Amino acid sequence: MTTPTALYIVTGSSRGLGAALTAQLLQPGHQLLGIARRSNPDLQAQADAAGVPLTQWTADLADPQPVAEQLAAWLGGFNGAAVASATLINNAGVVGLPATLGQVPLATLTLAMRAGLEAPLLLTGAFLAATASWAGARRVLNISSGLGRRAMAGSAAYCAAKAGMDHFSRAVALEEAARPNGARIVSMAPGVIDTDMQAELRGADAAAFPEQARFAALHAQGQLTSAADCARQLLARLHSADFGQDVVADIRAA
């Protein structure tokens, strides 16, 4: 008898936290889909060596509707009765140009909002619709940020996208709580992680981005969490029995 598959979809899977999450999910009995602007050959080699199915889509989440439609069609090819659990991890995001709003090109603002808010909203909708009749547990983990809850000068679009992610998660949680086998959803702030995004912030023009010195100090003082350590903490929360109890959460909270 074949063991039902635990299915995971991870956006922004090619590098940083997304790659760390994907690597740690390459376990027996799992099947993964990674969505990113580029594929990761090292992850593919790791998956092939472990015998874990990994599909990688190269897609630009700045144009999310076709990706969401593709996801819905892909999920429609599964026998939902054979899937023990299905999880969507909306990890991809774009910090944009660290500068005051009037200094940021409109195209950059559009990219940040589409990739950071519109894409997770559409992908979540497609995921929930496609898996609505599945018998297994369904979960959505949105990787948010403390900046969705505390405004910071020089990052208006990123703050807005993460605040929107938190609030749509609250609305979806209310909807799913009213449904049989409703999905559980959490918008989780992951703390300060040593990723390319952090490098962009501490390398920004201090005149345009007043918080630049703070991010530089975090790195200099060794206060950044590694992507691998953060991924381990996030997956422990994802697989805990109380996942979804607090819809908007912070990994640093006890």
Task: Encode pLDDT of 68-112 as tens digits.
Answer: 999 999 999 999 999 999 999 999 988 877 888 999 999 999 999
Question: Closest Cα to residue 118, out of 39, 47, 254, 126?
Answer: 126
Tell whether 142 is covered by a domain: yes
Give residue for tokens 């894409």.
Answer: 119
C-alpha span between 185 and 182 (Å, rounded):
10
Question: Closest Cα to residue 93, out of 35, 171, 33, 170?
Answer: 35
Q: Which residue type sits at 163?
A: A
Report the length, in residues, of the chain.
Answer: 254
Of the chain, the percentage scoring pLDDT greater than 70 comes to 86
Give residue for tokens 């390398």.
Answer: 203
Tell whether 215 is covered by a domain: no
Tell whether 219 is covered by a domain: no
Tell whether 206 is covered by a domain: no
Q: What is the CATH number of the domain that holds 104?
A: 3.40.50.720
Q: What per-residue confidence (pLDDT) applies to 1?
A: 38
Residue 21, pLDDT > 60, answer: yes
Tell whether 91 is covered by a domain: yes
Tell whether 170 is covered by a domain: yes
Is the four-CA dihedral 110, 115, 186, 91 of positive or negative sign?
negative
Tell whether 217 is covered by a domain: no
C-alpha span between 100 and 152 (Å, rounded):
10
Question: What's the gap between Cα 243 and its chain centre?
Answer: 16
Tell whether 81 is covered by a domain: yes
Range of the domain at 124: 5-191+227-250
Residue 227's pLDDT band, with cuts at 50, 70 and 90, is confident
Looking at the 3D structure of the chain, how many domains does it have? 1
Q: Is 213 helix (H, G, I), strand (E, B) or coil?
A: helix
Question: What number is the average pLDDT over the span 146-162?
Answer: 91
